Amino acid sequence: MGKIAFVFSGQGAQYPGMGMELAQTSAAAAAVFAMADEIRPGTSEQCFSGSAEELKQTINTQPCVFCVDLAAAEALREQGIQPDMAAGFSLGEIPALTFSGKLPKEEAFRFVVERSKAMHLCGSEYPGTMFAVMGIGPEAVEGACSQVPGSYPVNYNGPLQTVVACTEEAATAFPAEVVKSGGKSIRLPVSGGFHSPMMKQARTALEESFSRLTILEGEIPVYANVTALPYGDIDLLFRQIDSPVLWHPTIMEMNRQGADTFIEVGPGKTLINMITKILPAAKVLSVENKETLRTTMEELKHAGR
């Protein structure tokens, strides 16, 4: 067995009741929710009892998913599992940095709370939407975007899937341009053009509010969305807000560095589904509740970890 990588879920994976079993099963997971409630009262209650409508609002989604991601990772560490490296998709990058020791827990959570507010405000002031484009490679998607002003490739998810952010004006013309390029597009249920120039104002606000935040050495490398390479300067945390997520290149680089087992920590299985398409031979596992924690531990024990 090669190296283990933890991958931390992003916004969009949330669902009602997430994290409750982890908090009931693991003292380390429960401590994450207790920390969050001290800073943002009611966070654990939103995770455990909030409606789907409540949880899909950016100002709630990001703090809640952060907690479930970190709780799942801490539950694994409590069982003696320490990864060799980590990465997180968009929001998931912040709990990844926290788990690795590169950001203090409380400061990281405060950052997420403010990030969610800043991005929500940006989405309100600069309305946009996003499309998942499938069936064509990233170069063809970039070509389609070049023909429609206000459209930006923002998530490089796999060889034949790229997500594009569009202004409201661009959203009308973009799908037809994708068809011309031989692909198909699906409009996503989001309220903003995340990871695009439409989020510039949010980045600026956070740079000003968290100018003293620094990246610590940490225990394991965390691969950055912006570069697909291990984290360096704190600037990457701010650049990530209005820059594309290089997920496919990130997974390929982690694999080149020896990762052949990927464990998604947090709600859902979106990331391991992507990884299966990128690296069909990789072993993929997930932890989001009591059952998946047990199953993952059994699989790792069987593999000699």
pLDDT in tens, 230-242: 999 999 999 999 9
pLDDT attached to residue 54: 93
H/E segment holding residue 138: helix 138-146
The residue annotated as part of the active site, out of 90, 100, 181, 243, is: 90
Query: What distance in Å separates the CA atoms of residue 211 and residue 301, rounded to the nearest whole number?
Result: 43
- What confidence tens digit (pLDDT) does each residue in 159-180 have? 999 999 999 999 999 999 999 9
pLDDT at 305 over 80: no
Residue 234 dihedral angles phi and psi, to the nearest 5°: -60, -20
Longest dimension (CA), the chain: 54
**Averaged pLDDT, 251-261:** 97
Query: Which domains, and CATH codes, for the chain?
Result: 3-124+196-302 (3.40.366.10), 128-188 (3.30.70.250)
pLDDT attached to residue 303: 75
- What confidence tens digit (pLDDT) does each residue in 125-160 have? 888 999 999 999 999 999 999 999 999 999 999 999
Nearest to 131 by CA among 118, 122, 147, 144: 144
Supply the pTM of this predicted model.
Answer: 0.94
* Average pLDDT of the residues of the chain: 95
pLDDT attached to residue 1: 63
pLDDT at 304 over 80: no
Neighbour count for residue 204 (Cβ, 10 Å): 15
**Averaged pLDDT, 227-254:** 96
- What confidence tens digit (pLDDT) does each residue in 55-76 have? 988 999 999 999 999 999 999 9
- What confidence tens digit (pLDDT) does each residue in 89-102 have? 999 999 999 999 99
The residue annotated as part of the active site, out of 9, 26, 195, 248, is: 195
How many Å separate Cα 122 from the centre of its chain?
Answer: 19
Residue 218 dihedral angles phi and psi, to the nearest 5°: 75, 180
Residues in the chain: 305
90 is catalytic: yes
Q: What torsion do the CA atoms of 61, 19, 162, 151 make, to the nearest 10 degrees?
A: 0
pLDDT attached to residue 138: 96
pLDDT attached to residue 124: 87
The vertex-270 CA angle with 266 and 272, nearest 5°, equals: 85
Q: What percentage of the chain reaches a pLDDT higher than 90?
A: 92
Query: pLDDT band at 188, cuts 50/70/90?
Result: confident
Contact 16, 267 (CB under 8 A): no
248 is catalytic: no
Contact 160, 149 (CB under 8 A): no
Residue 228: DSSP 8-state: S
pLDDT at 201 over 80: yes
Reported in sequence order, the residue ranges of 140-252 that DSSP labels E, i.e. its strands, are 151-158, 161-167, 184-188, 222-223
**Averaged pLDDT, 3-15:** 94
Contact 22, 47 (CB under 8 A): no
Dihedral sign for Cα atoms in the order 221, 224, 229, 232: negative
